[in-house]
Amino acid sequence: MGLEFLARVRRTALWVGLVAALVTATYAAPLLALGVALGAAWSLANLALLERLIVAITGAERSSLPSVRRAVQAVAGMLALFAAGGLLLRLLSPAALMAGFFIPYAVLVLKAAALLLLPSALWKRLTQDARLASLVVALLFGAAWFAVAPLRSASIAAPGHAAAATESAQATAGPAAPGAPAGEAHEAGHEKSEGPQKFPNLITVLHRAFPNAGWSRFLEHYEVILFALLVAFLIGLVARLATRNPQLIPSGLQNAVETLVEQLNDFITGILGERHAPRFVPFLGTLFLYIWAMNLFGLIPFMDSPTSNLNVTVALALTVFVYAQYVGLRGLGLVGYLDHLMGSPRNLTGWLLVPLMLPIHVLGELAKPISLSCRLFGNIFGEDMLLVAFVSLGITTLSFAHLPFGLPLQVPFLVLALLTSTLQALVFTVLSTIYILLMLPHHDHEPGHEAEEELLEHSPI
Amino acid sequence: MVDPPRKDRNSTLRSAGLLLAVPTLLIVSPLLGAFLGNLLDRRFGSGHWCAGIGLALGFAAAGRETYQLVRRAQQEEEKDRRP
């Protein structure tokens, strides 16, 4: 995996970029195709230079002359690349350039997902039977077709809609109030772009039934918090039931919960090591179970996933961020913590690089909670929207018969949602574990931290 | 067919989780750098200089974080290869 994986991503992204440029040239315009190709090339060059710079700065021979030379070359290359990027943005379509820019990242995501899927038992079961595999491929094609349908209809309807809005504005606008119809047209467009709503849950149903009651307004206002609290209560209840009467040879609920806890313990110990894991497994294990349960909660009828709300995911990510900083401060001390943020300079080159490394470290630390929260929110919200789209499609398909139900087209995506909910909880937990690990003393690389480790070992956290 | 042992399965899951985080980090860090730089530009009226520097630092921060995650994924792979 590792660096070879990135090299494979680069090669694939190069080919995908070329194909995307050819397709754009054939079906759109040659200038747009040039934009896609140059965007992809810019992104690939940027990734290559970044890799070169980071290996030069953080590698084992970072203070040697060839490393410094490589770092300077990479920085000069990046400056030239940024200048070229600015020029390209002036000359070519920004949308085409951005499309090309994101190609390597899309390849990276798909390759990582494939890495996870291919060795799984689910994949083996699917590919054993040719008919089942064909059915899955057909379903995926159907899903892709219906997923892009709103985009296609929007792109087709947009010019007509705009023209109609302009015509209506011209028809109704008097010379005395030229701004008003344009504002109305803008508002109409805004309403049009709101998109599909989520499934109604118990609280929204109650709010619709009693819209003026104070308690229903209260429930509706604190809906997300109430669902999050309900999930926490249910997890607590399950834990209480599983441990109420513990047996030496477990069975039933106790057996299931013990298996889950053991798996989680093994998983986190694999990253943190036997020495540090016991102190962090309770926090990280609870985090996984809570996020997993919240992700899955939306699949229960009349319930909602609290993690499909950005406020909840930001709160979770901030909890991890604050805890990781606390672990860093507690373990390293204020001086050690600042030393860590400055990139642990130990020689002249290191101290000269402090003005560069300090903002890079601070930015990197700040980016962690943002990326954690946006990833979780985006995935769970997208999963909910996909289910809404397929339920609507199922109802529309049978609408000619005026039946009170539709085709259950969403069922395959419920299985997919189970998988992505688990995967996203796992990704959040793995990254939180890594962020905490990076804040622990660097015993792997730097000697002389035994005292700090001892201190950390006996801390109450 | 024999399932891989639990330790190996965990290792694959960890590596996949780490690599799935890379794209978001690569996008978020430059955007955050540019955003913070833009705030400074507005505060000090310095054109687009701070935004440009923030963007460049954001790219570097993204690279550094990615390097750390990839190195961690490599360690997972080496752990797998060990007898």
* Residues A365 and A229 placed together within one structural domain of the fold: yes
A141 and A25 together in one domain = no
Q: What is the residue whose two structure tokens read 């990615």?
A: B66
What gap in Å lies between CA A241 and CA A294, rounded to an integer? 20
**Chain B residues in contact with A430 (beta carbon < 8 A):** 13-14, 17-18, 21
Whether A69 and A130 share a structural domain: no
**Cβ contact B67–A51 (<8 Å):** yes
Tokens matching residue A3: 């660096």
- Please state the rounded mean pLDDT for residues A434-455: 58
**A265 and A388 fall within a common domain:** yes
Do A265 and A134 lie in one domain? The reply is no
The answer to whether residue A197 is domain-embedded is: no
Which of A46, A263, A374 is opposite residue B59, by nearest beta carbon?
A46
- Does some domain include residue A389? yes
Most B CBs within 10 Å, among A108, A266, A288, A430, to test the B interface: A430
Tell me, yes or no, whether A341 lies in a domain: yes
Based on the fold, state whether residues A44 and A110 are members of the same structural domain: yes
Boundary (domain end) residue, out of A111, A146, A181: A146
B69–A438 C-beta distance less than 8 A = no
Average model confidence (pLDDT) across chain A: 79
Which residues from B are below 8 Å from A58, CB to CB?
64, 67
- Owning domain of residue A23: 1-119
Q: Which residues contact A81 (CB under 8 A, 6 or more apart)?
A: A42, A45, A46, A49
CA B31 to chain A, closest CA, distance in angstroms equals 9
Note whether A136 and A100 are same-domain residues.
no
Residue A247 and residue A390 share a domain: yes
Among candidate residues A327, A362, A326, A324, the one with its CA nearest the CA of residue A343: A362
Q: Looking at residue A187, what is its pLDDT? A: 44
Can you read off the two tokens belonging to residue B68? 């750390």
Q: Answer whether B19 sits within 8 Å of A5, measured CB to CB.
A: yes
User: Rounded distance, CA B79 to CA B12, Å?
Assistant: 11
A395-403: average pLDDT: 79
Helix (H) or strand (E) holding B35: helix B6-44
pLDDT in tens, B10-22: 677 777 777 777 7
Q: What is the pLDDT of residues A100-153, one digit of tens each?
A: 888 888 888 888 888 777 777 777 877 787 778 878 888 877 777 766 665 555
- Which candidate from B28, B66, B74 shows the least CB-CB separation from A370? B28
In this complex, the residue of A55, A121, A270 whose CB is nearest that of residue B14 is: A270
Q: DSSP code of A460?
A: -
CB B67, CB B59: distance < 8 Å: no
| pLDDT per residue as tens digits for the range A155-210 | 545 444 444 444 444 444 444 344 444 444 444 444 444 556 778 888 888 888 88
- CA separation for the pair A444, B33 (Å, rounded): 31
> Is the same domain home to A319 and A242?
yes
In chain A, what residues touch B29 (CB-CB under 8 Å)?
Answer: 363-364, 367, 371
CB contact under 8 A, A54 and B67: yes
Domain-located, residue A308 = yes
Domain boundary among A146, A181, A201: A146
Band (pLDDT 50/70/90 cuts) for residue A324 is: very high
Check B13 against A116: CB less than 8 A apart. Answer: yes
Question: Could you give the maximum distance between any two Cα atoms of chain B, in Å?
Answer: 66
Same domain, A293 and A228: yes
pTM for the model stands at 0.62
- Please state the ipTM of this predicted complex: 0.72
Q: Determine the pLDDT at residue A455.
A: 40
C-alpha pair distances (Å), A418 with each of A123, A316, A412, A431: 15, 21, 10, 20
Cα(A20)–Cα(A26) distance, integer angstroms: 10
Q: How many domains does chain A have?
A: 3
Handedness of CA A148, A151, A156, A157 (dihedral sign): positive
pLDDT, residue A194, reads 56
Least Cα distance to B21 among B72, B80, B78 occurs for B72
* Residues A293 and A248 grouped into a single domain: yes
- CB atoms near residue B61 (< 10 Å): 28
B9 or A110, higher pLDDT: A110
A58: in domain: yes
pLDDT in tens, A352-378: 878 878 888 888 888 889 989 999 999
Neighboring chain A residues of B64 at a CB cutoff of 8 Å: 54, 57-58, 360-361, 364
Return the percentage of chain A with pLDDT > 90, whole number. 18
| Boundary (domain end) residue, out of A67, A101, A119 | A119
- What's the rounded Cα separation, in Å, for the pair A307 and A377? 6
The two most distant CA atoms of chain A are separated, in Å, by 87
Please say if the pLDDT value at position A49 is more than 60: yes
What is the amino acid identity at position A146?
F
A305 located within any domain: yes
Q: At which residue do the structure tokens 């467009």 appear?
A: A189
Per-residue pLDDT tens over the stretch B26-66: 888 888 888 998 999 898 888 888 888 888 888 888 888 88
